[in-house]
Structure 1
Amino acid sequence: MTVKLSSSILANLPAKIAGPKYDRAALKAGIVHFGVGNFHRSHQAVYLDDLFNSGAGHDWAIIGAGVFAGEKVGRGKLAEQDWLTTVVEQDSGHMSARVTGVMIDFLMPGDAEAIIEQLADPAIRIVSLTITEGGYFIDPASGLFNPSHPDIVADAQPGATPKTVFGITLAGLVRRRDDGIVPFTVMSCDNIPHNGHVTSDGVIGLARLIDEDLADWIGQHVAFPNGMVDRITPATTDRERGILASEFGLEDNWPVFCEPFRQWVLEDHFTDGRPPLEKVGVQFVEDVAPYELMKIRILNGGHATIAYPAGLMDIHFVHEAMQEPLVRGFLAKLEHDEIIPTVPPVPDTKLEDYYQLIESRFSNPKIGDTIRRLCLDGSNRQPKFIIPTIADRLKAGKSVAGLALESALWCRYCFGTTDSGAVIEPNDPSWDRLLATAKAAKDAPAAWLAMEDIYGDVGRSAPFAGAFARALTLLWANGARATLTQYLAGKL
């Protein structure tokens, strides 16, 4: 016997499910959030739910927003259950479920006029973002905002109705400036290096195309705090919906399954106040950069390390990849030999302890995270999570054999078949380009590194190019298993 999630059953949830301890009808909106996906609902929304349950912060509820037509599907699922979400935490010895109620509305994605009107409301003091790595209009090679992107150019035209997150955010700031209202803080919750600076570059960069004075005003009056966010949160499938129904007796259109671990390190830099999230475990610091670099290189770089060999071996789940000695060994050797040595000291943190935590989290057999998700969007992720580490190793005159193998594995994956010959379905916004380039690189490895927008100076490095070519040649000759065996034996 199951019950369907809605506001009407919150007082009578199934016995094993925790619900909000606060009166949702008394909540007031303080945040507009762009990108209402699984990560946001397992991370920022859960921290706020903890805060609201403590009796604090009830004027910081969330209103969802979006710019893409595809986001209407998720909005529809949440609308049917009054914006509620079930969050299920799982590891090998633990499974718990809770219903969070911090979202009180979700504006229609793409309705720029309604979203701008909401942003102009003085009650909104934070605009937060989880729009993925690809949503910031960054030139991969330079790492800088690209003002010539067609979507940005379109938003900069006189009288244009904005269609990007940056365009809508900018329009909201203009309304507040014109109305004499304190501007809101723009807070990225995306997993990108220096996410606050990147967001600032996007908003101010677009403003500069329109009005230099507006750009200067934003630079002087709007806060863009940097933050490091972390929680492994896979996509929701019928598998997760079925587990929730069978184990807990609750039907949810779009539940979120995630690991118990979560972390949020945030710079305490806000324009018009913030919720007291330090009460529920958010770590406020002056400079988030050391934490951010550690996470991006060790965790996200580690995800990339296991993703492509596992994909070529037809391994489905991440925990299954960690059960494969070759994949687990590749992760350990590459992290200790080449990745961790590039990470500077982090306050109150031992890097080896952090690595052991990451290894344990990757091995969680309950989370259901997929190798395909880790392989997704390499054209945006590799320039952020792997290539800067290669650049640092080259600058120091150190070996890049393992990092070159990781890059060669990505190239081989983008050829579109596994070692068994199974077809790999498109898994990148630039898949057609990557597929064609990977085919050219089979006989001419330099073709892959010639993707200037991805590799930049790294692709022109003779030591890296040589190591990459050797690794790719071995992958084609012998396959991923034999190549990893050779690498682990120190013979690559």
Structure 2
Amino acid sequence: MTQHHTNALVKGLNQESLAYMPSHVDTPSYDRSKVKAGIVHIGVGGFHRAHQAMYINELLKTPGSEQWGICGVGLLEANRGLRDVLKQQDYLYTLTVRHPNGTIDNTVIGSMIDFLFAPENKQAVINKLAHPDTKIVSLTITEGGYNFNPVTGEFDYANPDIINDINNPNDPITAFGYIAAALKLRKEQGLGAFTVQSCDNIQHNGNVTRKMLLAFAAEQDAALSEWIAANVMFPNAMVDRITPVSKQSDIDYVVDAYGVSDEWPITCESFTQWVIEDSFCDGRPNWDNAGAQFVKDVTPFETMKIRLLNAGHSVLGLLGSVHGYGTIDETVSDPLFAKYLRAFMDKEVTPNLEQLEGIDLEIYKDTLIERFANPNIKDSLSRICSESAAKLPKFLIATINENLAQGRDVSLATLVIAAWCFYSDKGEDEQGNTLEVIDAMQSELHEAAAKTTTDNLAFLSLTSLFGDLNTQSAFTSHYKNNVDALYAPASKIKAIMKNVLEPKGN
């Protein structure tokens, strides 16, 4: 990211240059020299800096929260550049929040007070995790960092880095290796455990983290595994904020708006949500004072997000791709696509959702469509449609199955599955432009979909994805009609969508 500016008048962002910031920038009003790192965060990416670190920054404005600063940790050689930038900037960075109406909020985030680069000093990271000040070890390590088999959900013992960490407890590579080494040290020193808090977008992320860490520790040190099971807490949480990858234009914007140079700023949407199970073993920040929500059970909140936001993304992504659109905002700005999405959310998703404390579902759905339409957050449909085989069983097919079991309509979701078949088979939109299809199951998807012209249920033969949908006549009757319409010469997805929304003869 590090693009340096030659303009000598532009100051680099650091603690000293805060005094020169324009008044419209929200800078840390608290004394950063008094902040201690009660949280060690592994995997400092854009999402962490737009989400958890932002919540802590807000909390630190309240006196008495000084023990909840963040020490970042980079485990990978690829994190060296980020370490260099953050160190040079006194661990400060700018957050540019872009509202759908074009309004921009500018904040300098000061909640990170240190960053440890593990490849240079592994023991320093283990010691920091084991330090009595460390109350929470939080994670954004992506789904791949949890080291589970995507088919079985079980721990992957064959990963070479895991084999290294099991056999070399003091020379770890993975997050599990570092966490186990630190917990072993705390156990030996008679210190209590810290809470391990996943902030990744994984269903039941705390349960997954616990299962994986216990599987790892049991292989390395059975007594340690038992101690972790008895002492460490792993709260589940639902996280939400769209945060695109930082670009050169974000760096340029900060120079223009602030008059300072930030080599790694973050841009994000204005919406943010964090719902956390209140189960911590060594205290926690009052995140609810900064806009987060503590609950007994996060599951229904996860279900709401996955069935509305994530499935909504897939509805727009697949239908929009077939039509020839390129981004989410472009797709949902088309009134027909917005109408289709809202009908899907209202008629096929909402009947399956619980009423949740603090959530008005109608307002949540309104907000989703507003977020998707944000012209300042360009989210590509190829990213949204990537790995659909891993996403759609949870996001969309679960809703179809629940509606079939209740005898409810599934026609809107069924067209999305038919569009996925067309997308996987043709690899191009209806204008003949090539689509970028990214999926671990791409060859299986293509092979099944390619048989559709001779067997219009062929795509549904992938039972690992679709279960028994190919035997459910309430589903297959719609699916056959949709596939036949999509594969007809000179077919148009918009005409098919209109017909599904308002079936002829009704």
Q: TM-score of the superposition, structure 1-length normalised?
A: 0.88
Give the whole-Å Cα distance in 2 for the aligned partners of 1:491 and 1:164: 57
Instruction: Please state whether the residue corresponding to 2:255 is helix, strand or coil.
Output: helix
Is 2:306 the partner of 1:296? yes
Q: How far apart, CA to CA, are the structure 1 residues paired with 2:250 and 2:276? A: 31
Aligned to 2:37: 29
Summarize the Cα distance change of 1:169–1:2 in structure 2 as closer, same or farther, 3 Å threshold.
same
Conserved? CA contact 2:138–2:198, under 8 Å: yes
Name the SS for the 2:312 alignment partner. Answer: helix
Flag the 1:157–1:109 CA change in 2: closer, same or farther, 3 A: closer
Q: Give the partner amino acid of 1:180.
A: G
Is 1:361 aligned with 2:364?
no
Which protein is bigger by CA-based radius of gyration?
A: 2
CA distance in 1, matches of 2:147, 2:73: 19
Q: CA deviation at 1:146?
A: 3.5
1:192 CA displacement: 2.1
Task: Label 1:260 to 1:76 Cα distance change in 2 as closer, same or farther (>3 A).
Answer: same
Unaligned runs of 5+ in 1: none
Q: 2:434 aligns with which of 414, 423, 426?
A: 423
Residue 14 of structure 1 contacts residue 250 of structure 1 at CA under 8 Å; is this kept in 2? Answer: no
Structure 2 alignment gaps of length 5 or more: 1-8
Q: Report if aligned partners of 2:315, 2:416 keep a CA contact under 8 Å in 1.
A: yes
Q: Percent identical across equivalent pairs?
A: 36
Superposed CA offset, 1:78-98 (max 9, x none)? 344332221111220521101
Structure 2 residue 92 is matched with structure 1 residue 84: yes
The code of the aligned residue for 1:30 comes to: G
* Corresponding residue of 2:4: none
Q: How does 1:47-196 map to 2 (within 5 A)?
A: 47-91=55-99, 92-108=101-117, 110=119, 112-141=122-151, 144-148=153-157, 150=159, 154=163, 157-159=166-168, 161-196=171-206
Once residues 78 and 379 of structure 1 are traced to their aligned partners in structure 2, the CA distance between those partners, rounded to angstroms, is 37
> In structure 2, how many angstroms separate the alpha carbons of the residues matched to 1:490 and 1:171?
62
Rounded Cα–Cα distance in structure 2 between residues aligned with 1:11 and 1:460: 65
Give 1:17's aligned residue. Answer: 25
Q: Tell me how far 1:101 sits from its aligned partner.
A: 1.3
Q: Is the 8 A contact 2:275 2:293 kept in 1?
A: yes
Instruction: Tell me which residue corresponds to 1:209.
Output: 219
Structure 2 counterpart SS, 1:486: helix
Moved more, 45-54 or 394-403: 394-403
- SS at 2:467 equivalent: helix
**Whole-Å separation in 1 of the counterparts to 2:114 and 2:317:** 36
Amino acid at match of 2:194: F
Distance change (3 Å), C-alpha of 1:458 and 1:343? farther
Residue correspondences, number:
487
Residue equivalent to 1:481: 494
Deviations 1:66-112 (A, max 9, x none): 44443444444434433222111122052110110111222225565
Offset of 1:33 from its aligned partner?
A: 1.1
User: 2-side partners of 1:23 and 1:5: how far apart?
Assistant: 17
Matched to 1:154, the amino acid is I
**Structure 1 residues 301-340: aligned runs within 5 Å:** 301-340=311-350
Letter in structure 2 aligned against 1:326: L
Determine whether 1:278 maps to 2:288.
Answer: yes
Residue 501 of structure 2 aligns to which amino acid in structure 1?
L
RMSD of Structure 2 on Structure 1 (CA): 3.0
Residues of 2 paired with 1:483 and 1:86: CA distance? Answer: 45
Could you tell me which residue of structure 1 aligns to residue 403 of structure 2? 393
Q: Distance in 1 between matches of 2:492 and 2:115?
A: 48
CA spacing shift, 1:405–1:456, aligned 2, 3 Å: closer
Cα distance in 1 for residues equivalent to 2:51 and 2:229: 28
What per-residue deviation string (whole Å, max 9, x for no partner) do you get for residues 209-246 of structure 1?
33444333222111011112222222222333333333
The Cα of 1:258 is off from its aligned counterpart by: 1.8
User: How far, CA to CA, are the matches of 1:287 and 1:224 in structure 2?
Assistant: 13
Q: What's the TM-score, normalizing by structure 2?
A: 0.86
Distance (whole Å) between structure 2 residues aligned to residue 329 and residue 435 of structure 1? 33
Per the TM alignment, residue 208 of structure 1 is displaced from its structure 2 partner at its CA by 3.0
1:405 aligns with 2:405: no
